[in-house]
Chain A
Amino acid sequence: MIDESKVELNSKQKAGNFIGSFGLIIILLVIFGLFSFLIPGVYFTWVNLRDMIRFSSFVGIGAIGMTFCIMTGNFDISVGSMLALAGVLGASLAPRISGVGGVIVTIIVGLFLGFINGVFVTKLKIPAFITTLGMLFVFRAIAYIYTNNTPQYIQDRFWISIGNKTFLGLPIPIYIMAVCYGIAYLLLKKSPVGRYIIAVGTNSRAATLSGINVDNIKILVFTLIGLFVGIAAVINASMLGAANPGMMGDGWEFQVITAVVLGGTALSGGSGSLGGTLLAALIIIFLKTGMSNAQVNSYWQQVATGLVLIFAVSINKLKFWLIGQTQ
């Protein structure tokens, strides 16, 4: 074994490591600093900061499961439709079985849909991208058909308070996001499951040969996506006061995947970072809110978002180039 602390790094490699560790934080701080400077009264306030973190929980929580999934070298493009289906089912049942029941149903439906994806991918052996592309259509269609394309409004006090109330000065979604990331971190770093996930992503064949049940790990990962999507659906429906079969989660899958990849998780699998995913989710929301607050034309916002995405991913590539590692 090489003692890593004793390895001499040249200045290039040091710079690369620095970017790897702090690149996202620097981007986040630059964005926050820039808008705080431009619109100090609006952007640089406690209320705004709090709200931005609250909003980022929607993408941030959804991206946890996706981080696991991409680490195993798979992909789930159905999350937006899954969000809508779980949301409308829970919201439509809430008046009959109380808000708590509705929330539980939403999460369980998410869990179950993720499980179905996992079973299709592993047992029917359809590639994950195609399975979930098919499910993207199927889930959305079921959400439409079930509701007959009418939004399901949420009247229940409990459910509404989840997304909008504060506890000890902080919005409740922030606590939920913190707990989700805490559990996910423990799962990834402190349990064998985390090692199995990385093993499957690095070399699925080798993982099988060393006795890991690859199918079960994959099913677990897809089920975890469902779980976190279910939680995100509860928060999203609560913030909006309704679950809309057409609008809910439309295009969300791309935001979630963007957060994961921007966070430094390799699409090829085997490595990833939950902290990076969280920072990336914050970057996306900080940038979006900043531009809205600065009254940037919404079309310019789209252009800028795309450019920042390319820039941030390029910085990540710069890291590998500096360290001298080929991907």
Chain B
Amino acid sequence: MVKFLKVYEKIGIFILIVAASIFLTIVSPNFRNIDTILGIIMQGSYGAIIAVGMTLAITSGGFDLSVEAVMGFTSVILAMLIPQMGFTLSIIIAILASCFVGMVNGVLITKVGISPLIMTLAMQVILRGTSLLITGGRQVVIAQKSFMTIGASKVFNIIPTPIIYMVVIFIAFYLLLNQTTFGRHIAAVGSNEQAARMSGLNVTIIKTLVYVLVAFTASIVGVIRTSQTLIGIPTMAPGFTLNVLTIAILGGTSLAGGKGNLIGTFFAGIFISMIYYGLNLLNVQIFYQFLSVGLVLLFALFVDGLRIRYLESAKVKGIRI
């Protein structure tokens, strides 16, 4: 039992995905089609990309509520700059500007000691206001149709580009968190900041970099979404931040900090997308999607709590874990 639970911790979300796949294969003939499956993964990739960054932030003991505003900010910068500067430069500037926002978050959180919740919440309001000011509250259409290739084309005519971005970012962040000293430092700061400081880590720089990385992932999704719609939207994706948090938590990253599960995050993003697809098949209203996401979250965490308590009691009884 203990062994099973240890494995479950790593791949719990994967079991849910397999169950959902079997269910969808039975009820929907369309699901057996590769395009449908890739479509579902693509829909899940937006949340998953940002949730990968969010996982890092949660691992470091904080979180970031400003991601949806960063998406809108990126979108607006792109729409304003592309007519003058072309794609490459505009994208670089938009991403750098977003990283700067993340840096401001990080510096104020670490240097002034404002709690991440309040800081990133305030940043969300400030940034959304700024984006609206830049465009005067309007949505800005991007005339250059070729910009669409970035987010709305398919590699080898089959794999949508967002999936490629998701995989690349996932691998990069996975290596960063699990194979580098920086990754270990993030976990160290998250599990005990005081101890990390005492053992000579530069907590300020580590945490600031984490917030820069979250803003970076949010900015990437901002670029993808803008490219797909060809519109600069200052109020892009309202409520998306909570979705991202849900994905990271469902993936098994502990809010207490110190323990990040990027594989879980990756699959949780896809799983949420599968739920939406399944509910669309049933032709239910969008409200039922909220309901199911909420219930899945509660159920997953309830099971997780049972697992942790079983392991604890096993430890007390002297069973080797």
* Chain A contact residues, CB within 8 Å of chain B: 120, 124-127, 129-131, 133-138, 140-142, 144-145, 149, 254, 257-258, 261, 267, 297, 299-307, 309-310, 313-314, 317, 320, 327
Cα–Cα distance between A135 and B118 once the two chains are bound (Å): 21
- Shortest A243–chain B CB gap in Å is 16
A144–B295 CB distance below 8 A: no
Chain A residue, CB-CB nearest to B194:
A326
Is A302's CB under 8 angstroms from B242's CB? no
Contact call B291/A137, Cβ cutoff below 8 A: yes
Of A130, A138, A257, most B-chain CB atoms within 10 Å: A130
With a cutoff of 8 Å between Cβ atoms, the chain B residues found around residue A125 in the complex are: 305, 309
Mark interface residues in B69-113 (1 if CB within 8 Å of A CB, else 0).
Answer: 000000000000000000000000000000000000000100011
Contacts of A300 on B, CB cut-off 8 Å?
129, 133
Q: Is the interface of B mostly helix, strand, loop or mixed?
A: helix
A residues less than 8 Å from B156 (CB atoms): none
Q: Is the CB of A306 within 8 A of B122?
A: yes
- What is the total number of residues of chain B having a CB less than 8 Å from a CB of chain A? 40
**Contacts A141-B290, A257-B117; A297 near B133 (Cβ below 8 A):** yes
Say whether A258 contacts B121, CB under 8 Å: yes
What is the minimal beta-carbon distance from A90 to any residue of chain B, in angstroms? Answer: 19
Closest to B133 in A: A299
* A138: nearest chain-B partner, CB-CB: B294
Which partner residue on chain A sits nearest B302 by CB separation? A124
Inter-chain CA distance A131–B301, complex, in Å, is 9
Q: B137 contacts which of A144, A299, A303 (Cβ < 8 Å)? A: A299
A313 to B108, CA, bound (A): 11
Determine if B129 and A301 form an interchain contact, defined as CB atoms under 8 angstroms apart.
Answer: yes
Partner of B291, one of A126, A145, A149, A305: A145
* Complex-state Cα separation, A241 to B285, whole angstroms: 27
Residues of B135-168 whose CB lies within 8 A of A:
137
Is there a chain A Cβ closer than 8 Å to B49's Cβ? Answer: no
Q: Are A309 and B122 in contact (CB under 8 A)?
A: yes
Shortest distance between the CB of B255 and any CB in chain A (Å): 6
* Residues from chain A with Cβ under 8 Å of B204 in the complex: none
Q: B118 is contacted by which of A120, A124, A261, A304 (Cβ under 8 Å)?
A: A261
Cross-chain contact A135 with B294 (CB below 8 angstroms): yes
Is there a chain A Cβ closer than 8 Å to B207's Cβ? no
**A133 lies within 8 A of B249 (CB):** yes
Residues A141 and B294 in contact, CB atoms below 8 Å apart: yes
